[in-house]
Amino acid sequence: MSTFIAYQTIVRREVNRFMRIWLQTLLPPVITQTLYFVIFGKFIGSQLGQIGGISYMSFIVPGLVMMAVINSSYSNVVSSFFSSKFQRNVEEILVSPTPSWVIMAGYVTGGVVRGVIVGALVFSVSVFFTHPHIFNIFLIGIFILFTATVFSLGGLANGILARNFDDVSIVPTFVLTPLTYLGGVFYSIMSLPVFWQKVSLFNPILYMVNGFRYGFYGVSDVSVIASVFILISFTAILALMNFYLLKNGIGLKN
Amino acid sequence: MHALSVQHLSKIYVNGTQALKDVSFAIEAGDFCALLGANGAGKTTLIGIVTDLLKKTSGEVKVFDHNIDFKFSKAKQLIGVVPQEFNFNIFEKVQDILVTQAGYFGIDHRKARMDSEVILKRLGLWSKKDSASRTLSGGMKRRLMIARALIHHPKLLILDEPTAGVDVELRHGMWDYLKELNQQGMTILLTTHYLEEVEQLCRNVAILKNGELVTYDRVYHLMQRLEKEIYLVTVDRIQDVGSIQKFGPMIKEENTFEVELSKSDVHDFILKVTEIGMTITDFRSQGHRLEKLYLKILKT
């Protein structure tokens, strides 16, 4: 059988799904991030000084784009996979010869596509408020793609293991949101006391946000090489974990 | 060649329930086989293992000689499954469900659209191709499940209670279609609670009881095991039944009695009834023969 056709089928279905309900999937993050630009960037930011030589509004643009990418890619995969499991139409794939890695790749690609589209939309809105500088477009691309991949993989693992709708909302509410807000989206960790600077270094989202910001302005609170290493490591670990779950039917087959 | 071979298959769920106990049987290619058993007997578990929706605890399963432990991908390519419960995406359109399913089997989009047209037309669903599946009637949903299972042209079709809740006319239509598929060479494994369905369609029958295979035989042979049948006899008026007492008639209602007869006794019984001056106005078999045998097997 052609695994590429199976992969294409999953991606097409996933993209069609979120495009069909774009009012729920694409528009809300754009509105939310616009409010952040207005409130934090315009109203509050105008009273703040520069951070690392850049205006506060420009400083928060990469973080807010990344925040939208993280939430969109994660929620796309977790909600799509869990609702397939809940409605039992995931069985359509499970009874087919589609290999586990293709199922994983298909769902993750769907999440990455949504994450990148939402990221592009939020970035487009930011242009109305500031003129972000682009330092290294290659790094911007690497960070946005890998971050969307990591969180799509995380969403897939959550979707596979979730047993009810509570399990689907626990991770975004209690893990992702705090880590994102504390991941240097709105501030530089250099402004924190030394102890909290050290604690912040355990937050993987800090590396993603800073690596992405480096692509725009060439400044970062952490090493960009460490950020790339962390991204690749998380991608590899989560990919292996998902492959193991799907291959062994954990959370799917009794 | 065996379309499906199950050897020493066992399944113990994580909660400790043993759903299958050392089940072994084989279905010849081209056969139409029924899998019977009470609710909870293990039928759906067995189908789940064969279709990779459940993990087996032990044993061996082969589909057209492909061992599912080593060549599940090849085995799955040959299986079409119609589950007991509707499990398609209720928001998706009818034809899209088929095309998507074909994609999972590696069939390209254009061919899938053409094949789905043929199947949907044959199953009377073509006019609904652009309707969301949730808007279909119960019978249409059942047919959609069959259509989806056939989109990749499987050689073994597994149907888990496909006619449950389907009206008589539609059920007979489905029977005709299944017979047609079987005549074209497709092997069919059917689970059902309608014994009439088994008698009409199947050549072989496997009966599961509490996870164990208690019978696997030709339907014809099973029917031969029925020695006696119960008849309801209605006469113009009941008179002295002394000379037919040996047949053990039991009066059920005015002018109607029940009697259990072997085939060889039927002629003799009718003669005796006529001799004592009663006119038979109705003579019919009570209940379903296979059903009685099935219940007898389950009780023993």
Query: Would you say A80 and A114 are in contact if contact means Cβ atoms under 8 Å apart?
Result: no
Number of domains in chain A: 1
Task: Give the span between the Cα atoms of B267 and B275, in whole angstroms.
Answer: 12
Name every residue in A having a CB less than 8 A away from some CB of B.
1-3, 5-6, 8-10, 12-13, 84, 87-89, 91-99, 249, 253-254
pLDDT class of B101 with cuts at 50, 70, 90: very high
Q: Are A182 and A203 in contact (CB under 8 A)?
A: yes
Looking at A230-239, B52-61, B238-247, which range is the least confident one? B238-247
Task: Categorize the per-residue pLDDT at B1 as very low, low, confident or very high, splitting at 50, 70 and 90.
Answer: confident
| pLDDT band, residue A217 (cuts 50/70/90) | very high
d(CA A51, CA A56): 6
Token digits of residue A25? 């999937």
Domain annotation covers residue A171: yes
pLDDT at B287: 59
Give the pLDDT band (50/70/90) at residue B3.
Answer: very high
Q: Could you name the CATH architecture of B2-223?
A: 3-Layer(aba) Sandwich (3.40)
Q: Which residues pair with B58 in a beta bridge?
A: B10
Tokens linked to B77:
């390519």
Q: Is residue A23 part of a domain?
A: yes
DSSP string, A108-130: HHHHHHHHHHHHHHHHHHHTTT-
A3 CA to chain B: closest CA distance, Å? 6
pLDDT tens column, A76-123: 999 999 999 999 999 999 999 999 999 999 999 999 999 999 999 999
User: Is the Cβ of B175 closer than 8 Å to some Cβ of chain A?
Assistant: no
CB contact under 8 A, B88 and A89: yes
Max CA pair span of chain A: 61
The CA-atom distances, in angstroms, between A139 and each of A127, A142, A180, A203, B42 are 20, 5, 20, 20, 56
A96 token code pair: 């087919």
Residue B157 near residue B181, CB atoms below 8 Å? yes
CA–chain centroid gap for A206, Å, is: 13
Place of tokens 């309608």: B194
Q: What is the pTM of this model?
A: 0.87
| Domain chopping of chain B, boundaries | 2-223, 227-299
In chain A, which residues have their Cβ closer than 8 Å to the Cβ of B152? Answer: 96
Specify the amino acid at residue A196. W
Q: What is the pLDDT of residue A17?
A: 95
**Residue A136: inside a domain:** yes
Mutate to test the interface with B, among A2, A5, A7 (most CBs of B within 10 A): A5
pLDDT in tens, B67-91: 999 989 999 999 999 999 999 999 9
Tell me whether residue A252 is in a domain: no
For residue B182, what pLDDT is reported? 97
- B103-118 core/surface letters (b: 16 or more CB in 10 A; e: else): bbbbbeeeebbebbee
Quick one: A15 exposed, middle or buried, by C-beta within 10 A (0-12, 13-18, 19+)? middle
Q: What is residue B237's predicted lDDT score, i.e. its pLDDT?
A: 82
| Beta-strand relationship, B156-160 and B79-82 | parallel
A1 interaction partners in chain B (CB closer than 8 Å): 73, 77, 105-106
Structural domain contains residue A238 = yes
- Reported as a single tens digit per residue, the pLDDT across A125-183 is 999 998 888 999 999 999 999 999 999 999 999 999 999 999 999 999 999 999 999 99
Residue count (chain B): 300
Mean pLDDT across chain B, nearest whole number? 90
Domain for residue A148, yes or no? yes
B52: nearest CB among A9, A10, A94 = A94
Q: Which residues contact B267 (CB under 8 A, 6 or more apart)?
A: none
Tell whether B16 lies on the interface with A, counting CB pairs under 8 A. no
Mean pLDDT, residues B221-248: 78
Chain A residue with Cα closest to B111: A5
Closest residue in B to A102 (Cα–Cα): B104
A189 band by pLDDT with thresholds 50, 70 and 90: very high
Q: Are strands B32-37 and B187-191 parallel, antiparallel or unpaired?
A: parallel
- The pLDDT value recorded for residue A75 is 96
Residue from B100, B79, B96, B74 nearest B27 by CA = B79
- Chain B residues closer than 8 Å to A12 by CB: 103
List beta partners, residue A173.
none
- Rounded to the nearest angstrom, the gap between the alpha carbon of residue B150 and the centroid of all alpha carbons in its chain is 18
Contacts of A103 in chain B (CB under 8 A): none
Q: In whole numbers, what is the pLDDT of chain A averaged over residues?
A: 94
The answer to whether B54 faces chain A, any CB pair under 8 Å, is yes
Say if CB B82 and CB B47 are below 8 A apart: no
Contacts of A253 in chain B (CB under 8 A): 48, 52-55
Alpha-carbon span B28 to B187, nearest angstrom: 8
**A185-194, B25-34, B239-248: which range is least confident on average?**
B239-248
Shortest CA distance from A99: residue in chain B: B73
Whether residues B87 and A87 touch (CB distance < 8 A) is answered with yes
Same fold, B2-223 and B227-299: no
Distance CA B81, CA B146 (A): 8
Examine the pLDDT at A1 and tell me if it is beyond 70. no
CB A114, CB A25: distance < 8 Å: yes
Q: Tell me the nearest-neighbour CA distance from B52 into chain A, angstroms.
A: 6
Report CB contact under 8 Å: B106, A91.
no
**Banded pLDDT at B227 (limits 50, 70, 90):** low
Q: Residues 6 or more apart from A251 whose CB is under 8 A from it? A: A85, A160, A161, A162, A163, A245
Question: Which residue in A5, A92, A99 is closest to B108 by CB distance?
Answer: A5
- Decide if A254 and B13 are in contact by the 8 Å CB cutoff: yes
Domain extent for A116? 3-247
Q: In DSSP terms, which residues pair with B20 in a beta bridge?
A: B11
Smallest Cβ–Cβ distance between A249 and the set B55, B76, B104 belongs to B55
Per-residue tokens: B113: 């659209």
- A80's tokens: 């799509």
Higher pLDDT, B287 or A67: A67
Assess if residue A254 is contained within a domain. no
User: Above 70 in pLDDT, residue A210?
Assistant: yes
Token pair belonging to A79: 């909600």
Q: What one-character DSSP code corresponds to residue B93?
A: B
Which strand (E) or helix (H) includes residue B80?
strand B79-82
What are A229-254's pLDDT values in tens digits?
999 999 999 999 999 999 999 999 86
Residue B261 or residue A56, greater confidence: A56
Q: Point out the residue among A88, A99, A253 whose CB comes nearest to the CB of B54.
A: A253
pLDDT mean over B3-7: 97
Q: Is the dihedral of CA A209, A73, A61, A41 positive or negative?
A: negative
Q: Which residues of A touch B48 (CB under 8 A)?
A: 253
- Among A6, A89, A99, select the one facing B87 at the smallest CB separation: A89
Task: Identify the pLDDT of residue B226.
Answer: 64
Q: What does CATH list as the number for B227-299?
A: 3.30.70.1560
Beta strand B228-235 with B256-262 is antiparallel
| For residue B111, pLDDT beyond 80 | yes
Average pLDDT of A22-34?
Answer: 95
Contact B37, B24 (CB under 8 A): no
